[in-house]
């Protein structure tokens, strides 16, 4: 009965459709900790921990980053029935996702494994028609007094190359690793962005505006991504007190674990 409820839940959530505008705001809510009205992340609370499945189109990684024909966006959901806080379950999670990934239990900077789970995703065209289906693995790390960090591993074929010239790039053990840092302006629903802010968002790919928070504030998204052995890895976190060198070092530890 429990298994049936989970499957029915996942199926019903898959059928929910959002506009691109709504998808972007849902992503911001995920990253800001699951507050129903948006808002700053508080502690470790995060929509994924509550088992809520969300359709997402992350414009900060470029809406043109999706492969598979004429894909215009991506719908993704986490398999809450696969979640585990035991790192030794990695081989079982890999089997469920049909992936062989590089992963470590703890980083030298103090971030340690918290939990992992299987993700599923499907690319869609502009009319919401399904194109291709993929599975990935999401691993979340924690460190006392610091924001969480998530490492997502997905089939590289899921994405085209979205990188631009202004992205920081480093070669590590023969792997090209990219770093991005994005300023995210969060606004209440009753506050309109200024003309200057809208113009900046249009011209600056490292500046994003989101509406739906309790108050006006800015937070900062740091990400590292690279492709290795047919797997795309994305390390991501908000308001990290870390330099790009430190994040490149975390990427190196993942690469050396292959």
Q: What is the DSSP letter of 209?
A: E
Tens of pLDDT, residues 3-23: 554 454 444 444 444 443 344
Give the CA angle between residues 112, 118, 121 to the nearest 5°.
125
3-state secondary structure of 156: helix
Tens of pLDDT, residues 196-219: 999 999 988 889 888 888 899 999
- Picking from 156, 178, 164, the residue whose alpha carbon sits closest to that of residue 227 is 156
Joined tokens for residue 74:
């991506």
pLDDT value for 70: 54
What is the spatial distance between Cα 53 and Cα 219, in angstroms, rounded to a whole number? 24
Answer yes or no: are the C-beta atoms of 256 and 228 closer than 8 Å.
Answer: no
pLDDT value for 17: 43
Answer yes or no: are the C-beta atoms of 172 and 252 closer than 8 Å.
Answer: yes
Joined tokens for residue 136:
């990935």
Give the CA angle between residues 194, 198, 202 to the nearest 5°.
165
pLDDT value for 56: 28
The residue ranges of the chain whose pLDDT is under 70 are 1-74, 76, 159-166
**Tokens 């919401």, residue located:** 128
Total residues belonging to the chain: 258
């Amino acid at each position: 009965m429990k298994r049936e409820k989970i499957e029915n839940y996942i199926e019903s959530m898959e059928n929910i459709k959002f506009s691109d505008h709504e998808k972007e705001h849902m992503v911001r809510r995920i990253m800001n900790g699951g507050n129903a009205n948006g808002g700053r992340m508080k502690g470790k609370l995060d929509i994924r921990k509550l088992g809520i499945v969300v359709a997402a189109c992350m414009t900060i990684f470029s809406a043109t980053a999706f492969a598979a024909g004429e894909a215009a966006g991506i719908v993704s959901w986490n398999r809450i029935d696969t979640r585990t806080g035991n790192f030794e379950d990695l081989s079982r999670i890999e089997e469920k996702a049909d992936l062989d990934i590089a992963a470590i239990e703890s980083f030298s900077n103090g971030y340690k494994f918290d939990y992992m789970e299987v993700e599923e995703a499907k690319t869609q065209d502009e009319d919401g028609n399904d194109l291709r289906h993929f599975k990935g693995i999401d691993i979340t790390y924690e460190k006392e007094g610091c924001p969480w960090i998530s490492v997502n591993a997905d089939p590289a074929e899921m994405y085209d190359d979205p990188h631009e010239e202004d992205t920081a790039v480093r070669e590590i053990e023969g792997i090209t690793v990219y770093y991005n840092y994005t300023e995210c302006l969060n606004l209440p629903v009753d506050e309109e962005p200024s003309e200057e802010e809208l113009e900046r968002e249009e011209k600056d790919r490292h500046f994003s505006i989101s509406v739906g928070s309790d108050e006006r504030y800015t937070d900062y998204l740091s990400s590292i991504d690279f492709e290795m052995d047919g797997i795309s890895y994305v390390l991501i976190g908000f308001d990290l007190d870390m330099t790009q060198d430190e994040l490149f070092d975390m990427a190196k530890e993942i690469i050396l674990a292959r």
